[in-house]
Amino acid sequence: MSDMKIMMFGQTGQVATEVQRKADVIALGRDVADLSDMDALRAAIHRHQPDVVINAAAYTAVDRAEEEETFALAVNGVAPGVMAHECAVQNIPFLHVSTDYVFNGSGTAPWAASDSVDPQNAYGRTKYAGEVAVRTAGGNHAILRTSWVFSAHGANFVKTMLRLSESGDAMNVVGDQIGGPTPAVDIAATLLDMACQMMNGQQGGTYHYAGTPAASWADFAAEIFAQAGANVTVTGIPTSEYPTPARRPLNSRMDCGSLMTDFKIAAPEWKKGLRHVLAELQK
């Protein structure tokens, strides 16, 4: 890893933060590489001449994207394609983070990477547009779809639940959306491992990486409170009782088998990851 020059778009997000804690990377924030300025993205890759490029930057305000889909599309859809094309021209492996929101959330079976997509909200549509653009660029690329990301920094479900627990001992949390909470630190480690393997000739593709076992948001909340020693009773409620501007998928279970087959990387255990995050927050 030390002799590999890694450039990453993204600097302050949960995954980008963890990548920087694990490896010496050139991390570009929006001040240097504005994701809505395509010339700046190309120039950055030209200037740094990296061995591999990771895109960990995105427009992630899911509900706001319903009002700002054009801007979200520039950042999530167009920009990754520009990065991937520039990498293809220079024969540089390119890794891109995507989302479970490209699926419609029907059924109960885990989604395979090869399943048909059908995004149900603006965020999902813009992220899928990015996937298509990356594939169309034609270089050696890996798209890593993940879900329910959490860490000790940034805005995420764990920190929200801990904050809310300070003002009450009972909470209603959505119980009919099922997915895999995923520690950002594990996503970072996976991206770096994949980058290393791709530098050494491994071909990429589209993969899933999400925490195991599957859980509902209510299950996740209950585990957060149990591990944190917070005396909070969680009641699961249906999505219909917690309306949001953007429609959420009910089934975000992810089949991570192909990542194990091709890269020998197993899905992370989110409860273990949660312990580490809570320990860091308590520090």
For the chain, helix, strand, coil in percent to 5 are: 45, 20, 40
57: nearest Cα among 267, 68, 24, 37? 37
Which distant-in-sequence residues (6+ apart) come within 8 Å of 70 by Cβ? Answer: none
Are the C-beta atoms of residues 96 and 84 closer than 8 Å to each other?
Answer: yes
101 in active site: no
CB 56 within 8 A of CB 190: no
Gap between the Cα atoms of 118 and 104, Å rounded: 5
CB 19 within 8 Å of CB 9? no
Per DSSP, the residues of 107-159 read SSSPBPTTSPP---SHHHHHHHHHHHHHHHH-SSEEEEEE-SEE-SSSS-HHH
| Dist. CA 97–CA 161, nearest whole Å | 25
Going 236 to 240 to 244 to 250, the CA torsion angle's sign is positive
What gap in Å lies between CA 253 and CA 218, rounded to an integer?
A: 15
Q: How far, CA to CA in Å, does 50 sit from each of 6, 45, 54, 134, 141?
A: 6, 7, 10, 18, 15
User: Among 59, 101, 123, 207, which one carries the catalytic annotation?
Assistant: 123
The residue to which tokens 């999400």 are assigned: 210
Catalytic residues: 123
